[in-house]
Every structure is written in C-alpha cells, then in structure tokens.
C-alpha cells in the first residue's frame, strides 16, 4: 500500500486509510511510538502501562467488593 507525505498545517504527515484503521482497531487520537531502522519507519501503538491498569482494577475491586462477593456465589 502506498501513501504520500502531505502538508498538514505547518507539518507533514500521512493519511492512514480507514480500512487499515478499522482492521487495527485504531482511531483518531491514538498515540504511537515511531521506530527507525535500516531505512524504514515502523509505527507501534503505545500500550497503557500495565501497572496503571492493575491499579485501576484494584480500585474497582475494592470499591465494589461486596457486589463482587455476591456475584461470585
């Protein structure tokens, strides 16, 4: 698939086709890490920090511990 670098305001960028975004489960506002190697560019979606996700899960389990205990019966 070929894409063209285009002028976007004072910067340059590429337009990622809608079909690719849908297949990859991506949307506007998602962030990427840009990697360069051997004359190529790779865009890797940033992953949320696992520690943050675990802490959010712990808070939710603590807040709803009574309901979770009842559901576990």
| Strand boundaries in 1-73, DSSP class E | 6-8, 11-13, 32-37, 40-45
Domain boundaries, the chain: 6-71
- Tokens 């990697």 correspond to 35
Strand partners, 6: 13
Residue by residue, pLDDT tens for the chain (73 residues) are 889 999 999 999 999 999 999 998 888 888 888 999 899 999 888 776 777 778 888 999 999 999 999 999 8
Question: What is the rounded distance in angstroms from the CA atom of residue 30 to the CA atom of residue 39?
Answer: 25
């Amino acid at each position: 698939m070929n894409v063209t670098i285009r002028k976007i305001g004072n910067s340059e960028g590429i337009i990622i086709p809608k079909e690719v975004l849908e297949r990859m489960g991506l949307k506007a506002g998602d962030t990427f890490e840009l990697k360069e190697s051997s004359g190529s560019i790779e865009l890797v979606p940033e992953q949320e920090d696992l520690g943050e996700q675990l802490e959010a899960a712990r808070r939710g389990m603590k807040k709803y511990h009574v309901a979770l205990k009842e559901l576990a019966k």
